[in-house]
Structure 1
Amino acid sequence: MTHGDIRIGIGGWTYEPWRGTFFPEKWAQKRELDFAASKLTAIEVNGTYYSSQKPATFASWAKAVPDGFVFTLKASRYCTNRKVLAEAGESIARFTGQGITELGDRLGPILWQFMATKKFDPDDFGAFLKLLPASQDGVALRHAVQVRHDSFLVPEFVALARAAGVAIVYADSTDYPAIADVSGDFVYARLEAAVEEEPAGYAPAALDRWAAAARDWAAGGSPEGLPYVADAAPKQPRDTFVFFINGAKVRAPHGAMALIERCSGNGR
């Protein structure tokens, strides 16, 4: 294997402005996931951040998408929005035990997103990483962390994530610091700086650069021109997930489809 799989998508699939701009006119709302999954290769589920879901719900999502499609799940806010992260064990167990493994091979990484006010405390954050389970119901779990405070821009944070085998989310954002250091056996990128003036959210040249970065990540590299705080990780093929999310949300599906086209051959 010379490169990992590249999967590209958006956040969720229910958004009124996508009706008629992404979904065909008069497309049945109950079939929006089916349509999105026919055009994209991954979806980041935001609803799991706010509330738990039933096992049957995860099972129904799995049945609605084709082979090779992957859902990533944003973990519950009760796990990450707390003063002492080391005390999150019960909330983490509740989240991973709610039935997410009903997704089967459609289950992608879990995204643990932290508030922009959350500062880096090496001991407490290290304790949190140790709470993340390696598996649930016999299914291996993969974890990614998105931190959004400048205090995380230190090699010590990267070292903690690498020791835990957890991916650091790279976020292309106009609001938060970016950390491009590769730390897990997969890469998780969120493109959050889309603008509505561009039909695909990002200019064609920018999409070309993101396609090159995605291929580089999948081949095990660390793309040039991105912000790093530590030495490069060992080169090895890595599954790569790229999501167009936030920013000009109405453009997200078009950005994802444009990037899939540029990465054709590695998309599924």
Structure 2
Amino acid sequence: MAGKSGPFIRIGVGGWTFEPWRGTFYPEGLAQKRELEYAAGKLTSIEINGTYYGSQKPESFAKWHDETPDDFVFAMKGPRFATNRRVLAEAGSSIERFITSGITELKAKLGPINWQFMATKKFDPADFEAFLKLLPESHDGLKLRHAVEVRHDSFKVPEFAALARDYGVAIVTAADGEFPQIADLTAPFAYLRIMGTVEGEKLGYGRKALDQWAARAKLLAKGEVPGDLDSAGKKPGRGKAGDVFLYVISGHKVANPAAAMALIERVSG
């Protein structure tokens, strides 16, 4: 992470329950009920994936809050019931149910919400703006941060970046995978999901690639878009300095915690 007075760079993985991590990331014999506690001691953030598939209980969010360090932050996926629909303007009730489902039991540990769209969803400016209008700025006294993860090439246009910027919503930068990469800074924070870990690399990525991602994260924290990342327009321009959330996702998943820890070490130096 960055210094205590400046923007934070938070790095982690998706979820914490994954059987192949037992004995590779988690010590042999560690009780499953202590896996979150262990992971949160090694990483600085985790993206909760279960919220994409179904609602969680308020008691679960409260429990996760209590099992993690004071400076830990969770990101989470918004429910697919809100994003996997033909008319996004009709997502209001799904969004409201999710926001009021107990997520604020995470208190100060509530990080950005990632609204992920299917790869078949195309950019319809009017309908997408209608969706952005449905995203509440706060709930239960907590300011909410929203990000959108789009996976169709039609979004890779300046109009989409401008729309996200108008609403202060981050565009998730997907990297090292099959989805379009849009690195424009459109919110007071950056959200990245890197998907390129491979079998045969002890740390998931080679050292050069890890150094490169750490350098990119530091630039984004300063409000600068790295020149080697793609954007929606020809010139993504500068944003404001802000927190960076980076998650090592997919790829050779068994190595993702090792990659995340290697990145944390690099951005902390």
TM-score strictly above 0.5: yes
- For residues 151 and 240 of structure 2, what CA distance do their matches in structure 1 show? 27
Where does residue 212 of structure 1 map in the other structure? Answer: 215
The secondary structure found in structure 2 opposite 1:263 is helix
Where does residue 171 of structure 2 map in the other structure? Answer: 168
- For residues 257 and 9 of structure 1, what CA distance do their matches in structure 2 show? 8
- Aligned positions, number: 265
Where does residue 103 of structure 2 map in the other structure? Answer: 100
Q: 2:91 aligns with which of 67, 88, 92?
A: 88
Where does residue 184 of structure 1 map in the other structure? Answer: 187
How far did residue 3 of structure 1 move?
4.2
Where does residue 205 of structure 2 map in the other structure? Answer: 202
1:264 equivalent in alignment to 2:268:
yes
Unaligned stretches of 5+ residues in structure 1: none
2:8 and 2:242 in contact (8 A); partners too: yes
How far did residue 234 of structure 1 move?
3.9
Taking structure 2 as the reference length, the TM-score comes to 0.96
The secondary structure found in structure 1 opposite 2:162 is helix
1:19 equivalent in alignment to 2:22:
yes
1:243 equivalent in alignment to 2:247:
yes
- For residues 180 and 239 of structure 2, what CA distance do their matches in structure 1 show? 24
- For residues 100 and 15 of structure 1, what CA distance do their matches in structure 2 show? 22
The secondary structure found in structure 2 opposite 1:129 is helix
How far did residue 77 of structure 1 move?
0.4
Judge which range, 186-195 or 1-10, deviates more: 1-10
- For residues 237 and 229 of structure 1, what CA distance do their matches in structure 2 show? 20
Counting only pairs closer than 5 Å after superposition, residues 13-52 of structure 1 correspond to structure 2 as: 13-52=16-55
- One-letter identity of the residue aligned with 1:13: W
- For residues 240 and 117 of structure 2, what CA distance do their matches in structure 1 show? 28
- Structure 1 residues 48-102: Cα deviation after superposition (integer angstroms, max 9, x where no partner): 0011011111000000000110001101000000000010000000011100000
1:193 equivalent in alignment to 2:196:
yes
- One-letter identity of the residue aligned with 1:240: V
Taking structure 1 as the reference length, the TM-score comes to 0.96
- One-letter identity of the residue aligned with 2:264: I
- Structure 1 residues 129-154: Cα deviation after superposition (integer angstroms, max 9, x where no partner): 11000011111100000000000010
1:183 and 1:233 in contact (8 A); partners too: no
- Structure 1 residues 10-64: Cα deviation after superposition (integer angstroms, max 9, x where no partner): 0000000000000001111100000000000000000000110111110000000
Q: 1:154 aligns with which of 153, 157, 182?
A: 157
RMSD: 1.2
How far did residue 201 of structure 1 move?
1.3
Unaligned stretches of 5+ residues in structure 2: none
2:191 and 2:246 in contact (8 A); partners too: yes
1:185 and 1:239 in contact (8 A); partners too: yes
- For residues 115 and 59 of structure 1, what CA distance do their matches in structure 2 show? 30
Where does residue 225 of structure 1 map in the other structure? Answer: 228
